[in-house]
């Protein structure tokens, strides 16, 4: 998604003169085109993310639209108080972009993973989180963020192919119908279900993608499906605490819906203390491969 | 680093030659403003039965200098040491920017004037500060933002010395020096006291002028309670800004709780409110000092 982000911002730059791109000294062989396009509006602040965020708040206050890029934990967690106080409390449109959401940085290990970023961001006032599913989502999300008066966090991740036709990026999208169970996912980890290549299982699952946090305006079709099927699964490359499962559960309860079967599939950190690729970590948590199949089958069979 | 305009005090510290800048009437007018501002915020603290008095007394002259003898209307000030905001509210009231009656609501339920600067409530206070270590970055962002738009505005940030403990302050210092943001002036209220003790006991900052100079700042040192010295610092700063080679940091040597004997140079003056006798003493001492300096009866 990183390349798509770079292309989207370059395209946006042609339409808007107020954009600024700021990096915390990351993006080698990835963002050079941005440097060339943005000129003096490309700012490498060095490995100093707290300063980068407060600078961005000051720049936004002066009428600029800053986009801040780094590896997800470094743009979200390191400067967290600056995001809360300088950006969100002051309702400033600062755009945070984190590469490698979830286990995206794979073998780089735990310091470079972001398993709590959505939770950390979605509790902040005046903040909206964007979680693309596909490569083409990224450009559409960037366009929506540019028009969003709030602060935003864009969670970039590695994409997987989705065989179904996917509509343009939106807070809620139904990817396919299914017989018995509603599955709501955030981000490309949802595509791991297609990858199981299990037509019987897939036929049971109605798949939805949640694209923004906080969860707002749950579509009538989703609520109706949940009411009818009474089985809900959430899937996310994020800890359970603060993630999609908690958010959807609360949203359903506030609508008077309490499905008797509600299963949250989420990241579990590092249960074995061993490291591997993004895919390896997903499998270890049952978010991909045989573990994911077994968990979904268990729900479907009731 | 260039340190012309300054004299070596022989102990590793640098000072601005005082007494030459500003006319005597200029200095008297500023002293009158400072006296009025202090009376305002002492009354606020007494009415609110609140602390942070020492913090406000430490920087009162600095705020008066900035508002009445330095900043233009289009310039921007960030009080990074938000704990002293009663002094800033008082200066804004003194300048007829804030309704003086609002000062009476300080600390009250439903007030627009909380104990630390409010969010988006007062146009002259662009950011809610007081979470230490944010102000210089915020100010640098605004200064860079104006420079990118080609707007010749000035930006001023007053930090405490305690918040120089924060790594984010030094991230900002690196950035300001690297980008040569000469439209920004960094003032440091160097009262040598922080939350739980002296700055040199808690986490030593000295040699602070050398540290700032090594980061790339043009360092000016002044007596933060003496308008002659502060006006000289202003002139030194303007000269350095005109040269455009390095941003300026002003170390204002100050005394926490300045002017009130029982408060001066104490950690307690950061926290404790005044009882009736202490308030009378504070009023008397300020008036006596002002009277002695000006020959006027201030009571």
- List of chain A residues whose C-beta atoms are within 8 Å of the C-beta of residue B167: 50
**Which residue of A21, A38, A43, A54 is the best one to mutate when testing the B interface, meaning the one whose CB has the most B CBs within 10 A?**
A54
Give residue-wise pLDDT tens across range B147-174. 999 999 999 999 999 999 999 999 999 9
User: Within a 13 Å sphere around the CA of A22, how many CA atoms are in the beta-carbon half?
Assistant: 30
| Highest mean pLDDT: which range of B21-25, B159-163, B294-298 | B159-163
Yes or no, beta carbons of A55 and B146 under 8 Å apart: no
Beta-carbon separation of A90 and B144 below 8 A? no
Q: What is the pLDDT of residue B2?
A: 35
Interface membership of B119 toward A (CB under 8 Å)? yes
- Whether residues B138 and A64 touch (CB distance < 8 A) is answered with no
Closest-CA distance of chain B to residue A74, Å = 14
Residue B196 has pLDDT above 50, yes or no: yes
Question: What is the predicted pLDDT for the residue at B292?
Answer: 87
Is the model's pLDDT at A301 over the cut of 70? yes
3-class state of residue B210 by DSSP = helix
Task: Compare all CA atoms of chain B with the CA of A52 and give the residue at the minimum distance.
Answer: B137
Cβ of A50 and B171 within 8 Å?
Answer: yes
Nearest to A58 among B119, B120, B141 (CB): B141
Minimal C-alpha gap between A47 and chain B (Å): 9
Q: How many CB pairs under 8 A join A and B?
A: 90
pLDDT band at B294 (very low <50, low <70, confident <90, very high): confident
Share of chain A above pLDDT 70, in %: 100
Largest CA distance in chain A: 59
Asked if B175's CB is within 8 angstroms of A90's CB, the reply is no
What pLDDT score was predicted for residue B21? 67
Where are the domain boundaries for CATH 3.40.50.920 in chain A? 172-301
pLDDT tens column, A154-211:
999 999 889 989 999 999 999 999 999 999 999 999 999 999 999 999 999 999 999 9
Q: Tell me which of A24, A42, A44, A51 to substitute to probe the interface with B (most B C-beta atoms closer than 10 Å).
A: A51
For B145, which of A48, A51, A59 is closest by C-beta distance? Answer: A59
Q: Look at residue A36 and give its three-state secondary structure.
A: helix
In terms of C-beta density within 10 A (0-12 exposed, 13-18 middle, 19 or more buried), how is residue B269 classed? buried
The domain ranges of chain B are: 6-294
Q: What is the pLDDT of residues A266-300, one digit of tens each?
A: 999 999 999 999 999 999 999 999 999 999 999 99
* Tens of pLDDT, residues B263-293: 999 999 999 999 999 999 999 999 999 988 8
Cβ separation of A58 and B168 shorter than 8 Å? no
Kindly report the nearest CA distance between residue A94 and chain B, in angstroms: 12
Q: Which of B12-16, B83-87, B107-111, B122-126 has the lowest mean pLDDT?
A: B12-16
A chain contacts of residue B144, beta-carbon cutoff 8 Å: 43, 55, 58-59
B6-294, which class in CATH? Answer: alpha beta
In this complex, the residue of B126, B142, B175 whose CB is nearest that of residue A51 is: B175
Where in chain A do CATH 3.40.50.970 domains reside? 2-155
User: Can you name the CATH fold of A172-301?
Assistant: Rossmann fold (3.40.50)
Tell me, what's the pLDDT at B25?
78
B168 contact A CB<8A: yes
Residues 53-92 of A with CB under 8 A from B: 53-64, 81-82, 85-86, 89-91
Contacts of B119 in chain A (CB under 8 A): 89-90
Tens of pLDDT, residue by residue over A40-75, are 999 999 999 999 999 999 999 999 999 999 999 999
Contacts of B137 in chain A (CB under 8 A): 50-51, 53-55, 58, 82, 86
Q: Could you give the percent of chain B with pLDDT greater than 70?
A: 92
Contact A61 B146 (CB under 8 A): no
DSSP string, chain A: -HHHHHHHHHHHHHH-S-EEEEESS--TTTSHHHHHHHGGGEEE--S-HHHHHHHHHHHHHTT-EEEEEEEHHHHHTTTHHHIIIIIITTT---EEEEESTBTTTGGG-GGG-BSSHHHHHHTSTTEEEE---SHHHHHHHHHHHHH-SSEEEEE--------S--PSP-SEEEEE--SSEEEEEESGGGHHHHHT--HHHHHHEEEEEE-EES--S--HHHHHHHHHH-EEEEEEEEESTTSHHHHHHHHHHHTT---SEEEEEEE---TTS----HHHHHHHTTSSHHHHHHHHHHHHH-
Residues of A in contact with B131 (CB under 8 A): 81, 85
Q: Please provide the average confidence, as pLDDT, over all residues in chain B.
A: 92
Q: What is the mean pLDDT of residues A251-263?
A: 97
Contacts of B168 in chain A (CB under 8 A): 50-51, 54, 82
Whether residue A20 contacts residue A38, with contact meaning beta carbons closer than 8 Å, is answered with: yes
Inter-chain contact B137–A58, Cβ cutoff 8 Å? yes
Question: What is the band of B24 on the pLDDT scale with cuts at 50, 70, 90?
Answer: confident
Question: Which among A59, A89, A91 has the least Cβ separation from residue B144?
Answer: A59
Q: What is the CATH code for A2-155?
A: 3.40.50.970
């Amino acid at each position: 998604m990183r390349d798509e982000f770079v292309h989207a911002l370059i395209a946006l730059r042609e339409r808007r003169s107020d954009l600024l791109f700021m990096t915390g000294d990351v993006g080698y062989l990835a963002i050079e085109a941005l440097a060339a396009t943005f000129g003096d509006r490309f700012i490498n602040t060095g490995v100093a993310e707290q300063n980068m965020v407060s600078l961005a708040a000051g720049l936004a206050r002066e009428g600029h639209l800053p986009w801040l890029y780094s590896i997800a934990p470094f743009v979200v967690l390191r400067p967290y108080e600056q995001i809360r106080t300088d950006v969100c409390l002051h309702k400033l449109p600062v755009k945070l972009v984190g590469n490698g959401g979830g286990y995206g940085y794979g073998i780089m290990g735990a310091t470079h993973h972001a398993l709590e970023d959505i939770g950390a961001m979605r509790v902040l006032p005046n903040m909206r989180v964007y979680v693309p599913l596909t490569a083409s989502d990224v450009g559409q999300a960037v366009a929506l963020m540019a028009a969003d008066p709030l602060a935003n966090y864009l969670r970039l991740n590695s994409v997987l192919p989705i065989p179904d036709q996917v509509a343009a990026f939106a807070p809620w999208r139904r990817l396919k119908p299914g017989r018995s169970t509603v599955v709501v996912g955030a981000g490309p980890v949802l595509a791991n279900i297609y990858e199981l290549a299990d037509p019987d299982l897939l036929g049971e699952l109605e798949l939805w993608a949640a694209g923004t946090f906080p969860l707002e305006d749950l579509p009538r079709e989703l609520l109706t499906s949940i009411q009818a099927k009474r089985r809900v699964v959430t899937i996310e490359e994020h800890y359970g605490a603060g993630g999609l499962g908690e958010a959807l559960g609360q949203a359903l309860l506030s609508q008077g819906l309490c499905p008797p079967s509600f299963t949250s599939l989420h990241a579990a950190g590092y249960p074995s203390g061993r490291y591997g690729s993004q895919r390896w970590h997903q499998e270890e948590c049952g978010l991909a491969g045989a573990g994911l199949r077994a968990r979904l089958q268990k729900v479907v069979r009731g | 680093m260039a340190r012309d305009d300054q004299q070596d005090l022989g102990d590793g510290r640098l000072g601005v030659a005082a007494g030459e800048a500003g006319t005597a009437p200029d200095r008297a007018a500023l002293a009158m403003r400072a006296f009025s501002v202090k009376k305002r915020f002492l009354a606020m603290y007494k009415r609110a039965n609140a602390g942070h008095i020492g913090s406000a007394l430490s920087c009162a002259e600095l705020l008066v200098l900035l508002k009445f003898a330095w900043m233009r209307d289009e310039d921007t000030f960030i009080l990074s040491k938000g704990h002293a905001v009663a002094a800033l509210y008082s200066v804004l009231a003194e300048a007829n920017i804030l309704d003086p009656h609002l000062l009476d609501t300080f600390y009250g339920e439903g007030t627009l004037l909380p104990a630390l600067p409010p969010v988006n409530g007062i146009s002259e206070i662009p950011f809610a500060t007081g979470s230490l270590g944010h102000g210089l970055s915020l100010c640098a962002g605004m200064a860079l933002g104006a420079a990118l738009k080609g707007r010749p505005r000035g930006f001023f940030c007053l930090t405490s010395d305690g918040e120089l403990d924060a790594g984010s302050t030094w991230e900002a210092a690196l950035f300001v020096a690297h980008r040569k943001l000469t439209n920004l002036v960094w003032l440091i209220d160097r009262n040598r006291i922080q939350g739980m003790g002296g700055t040199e006991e808690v986490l030593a900052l000295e040699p602070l002028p050398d540290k700032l100079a090594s980061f790339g700042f043009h360092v000016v040192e002044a007596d933060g309670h003496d308008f002659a010295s502060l006006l000289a610092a202003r002139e030194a700063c303007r000269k350095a800004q005109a040269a455009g080679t390095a941003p300026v940091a002003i170390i204002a040597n100050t005394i926490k709780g300045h002017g009130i004997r029982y408060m001066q140079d104490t950690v307690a003056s950061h926290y404790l409110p005044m009882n009736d006798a202490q308030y009378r003493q504070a009023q008397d001492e300020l008036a006596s000092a002002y009277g002695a300096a000006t020959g006027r009866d201030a009571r």
